[in-house]
Amino acid sequence: MTMAQNLDGSPKKRRYIVSLDQGTTSSRCVIFDNFGQTVQIVQKEFKQIFPHPGWVEQDPMEIYSSQYSVMTEAIAQSGIRPYHIEAIGITNQRETTIVWDKITGKPIYNAIVWQCRRTAPIVEEIKKDKALTEYIRQTTGLLLDAYFSATKLQWILDHVPGAREKAEKGELLFGTVDTWLIWKLTNGKVFATDYTNASRTMLFDIHKLCWDKRICDALHIPMCMLPEVKHSSSIFGYVNLFDTEIPIAGVAGDQQAALFGQTCFRKGEVKTTYGTGCFLLMNIGSKPCLSEHGLITTLAASEDAHHRPEYALEGSVFVGGAVVQWIRDRMRFIVDAADSEYFATKVPDNGGVYLVPAFTGLGAPYWDMYARGTIFGITRGTTRDHIIRASLESIAYQVTDVIEAMKQDTGLTIPSIKVDGGASKNNFLMQFQSDVAQIRTVRIQTNETTALGAYYLAGLAVGMFASEKEIKTLEQKDHVFRPKMSPEESQKYLKKWHKAVKMCRGWEDDSTD
């Protein structure tokens, strides 16, 4: 690459930002320089704990120790001196709930992970209060669900002996993973979170930008437990690293960080992460809109230049890349996930086969927990290749359904979607996504979009970047997929897909629409 220059022609000094990417199964550290180049990546997996069916926990101390160790290892391997590091950015698994003692700093229980469903009975009890349920939706932008932090926190206070009494005395602290890391990295000096993570707790008023007393009272959660909430791109505190004070300057939940990392700064821009599931976020600007089509409203990460929040619509598809894992591990149709692209292209079309991967029900925009995975259109001429192709196509159909819901909720035109995640490397899938959604699909070179978002946010806060416009210049596209299919043909595919979805939803529940 060509070294960037200052206005006087002299070469720009190389500077660095450390991005801590604390995920559900591993902790990563990615070091970037001020030219947007990845300098070092270190990753470490940590233990998942399953005490009972449907319960998912993690050890908060292992979360921290794994994240700290990959940070120090990445710095050591890169050869960078700590005083060359401008800032630290943090991005994290969202909704995961940790409670710890304010004095000792020790967690009083394992972290309850976002995937954990133990609090479903609490949710069902709250749903009996129709007025409160609607208030939660209107205030937080979220659908009442065990997915979010609020009922997890309530469960800990109700089930850990003495916890509620200590909480009411102000002796316990609650935080999502970002808050826990900030508190640990600053040696207990800073107790804070950012707007994006706060908005995933189901306790935060996304309009007034504050914790909501009515919801906290209803769930019996003392508000003294809750952290200060700050803008995603701001100075949170300082980490003493090898006798050097380094600011934590950017914090965002993983999907909002990916939205920012994909430079979706303008209203109407959309990113899709193709992982085990698929997460779609649309920037909807400075005014929130509540979805009428099965999406949730959340706060987006943004720079603090205008001192105003930005919002996003989010839709989650439960089974994305997981369907490829299924045809590999359960059906044994392929040996490696990457093989799916090869076999899908061995047939000219899907042969009329449609696979609905509702293995755990359907997510947005349907939210049908009774739906079950099904395959339609099988004939004597159906081959393994048709089913593999139908599996990949099912991911694109589900994403298209969410895109259409976003259009209906906002009335906005979506010219393109930016994509990341493991399955985005599948060229067949990306082309079919572009075809069936009739939309340009843009894949960038790096797959580290969550870490990239934390890097950009931190860089803005410490002046490494002057503006979002400057960040845009760092973006490096890998490939742009454009529709090759006619709109009429696309509609034929979608019509059959929606028929398959309708039949799938009727499997255990007759209240199909």
Which residue in the block uniquely carries the two structure tokens 């099988």?
A: 378
What are the pLDDT digits (tens) for 391-440?
999 999 999 999 999 999 999 889 899 999 888 899 999 999 999 999 99
Nearest to 85 by CA among 242, 235, 246, 248: 246
Q: Which of 118-127, 232-241, 401-410 has the lowest mean pLDDT?
A: 118-127
What are the pLDDT digits (tens) for 286-342?
888 888 888 999 999 987 655 678 999 999 888 888 888 888 888 899 888 888 999
Is 260 within the bounds of a domain? no
End-to-end CA gap in the chain: 55
What are the pLDDT digits (tens) for 251-264?
999 999 999 999 99
Is 84 within the bounds of a domain? yes
Beta-carbon-side half-sphere exposure of residue 366 (alpha carbons within 13 Å): 28
Assign 444 a pLDDT band (cuts: 50, 70, 90): confident
Is 36 within the bounds of a domain? yes
Is 278 within the bounds of a domain? no
Residue 455, pLDDT above cutoff 60: yes
Q: How many domains does the chain have?
A: 1
Assign 276 a pLDDT band (cuts: 50, 70, 90): confident
| Per-position DSSP letters for 310-369, written without gaps between them | EEEEEEEES-STHHHHHHHHTS-S-SSTTHHHHHHTTSSS-TT-EEE--BTBB-TTT-BT
Q: Which domain range does residue 160 map to? A: 16-230
Is 26 within the bounds of a domain? yes
Average pLDDT, the chain: 89
pLDDT for res 3: 44
Q: What are the φ/ψ torsions at residue 30 (nearest 5 degrees)? A: -125, 125
Residue 209, pLDDT above cutoff 50: yes
Is 428 within the bounds of a domain? no
CA gap 474, 265 in Å, rounded: 14
What are the pLDDT digits (tens) for 175-206?
999 999 999 999 999 999 999 999 999 999 99
Is 94 within the bounds of a domain? yes
Residue 73, pLDDT above cutoff 80: yes
What is the CATH classification number for the domain harbouring 51?
3.30.420.40
Tokens of 77: 């391997």
Nearest to 314 by CA among 350, 349, 251, 272: 272
The contacts of residue 255 (CB under 8 Å, 6+ apart) are: 94, 273, 279, 281, 314, 450
Q: Which of 95-104, 325-334, 361-370, 371-380 has the lowest mean pLDDT?
A: 361-370
Is 154 within the bounds of a domain? yes
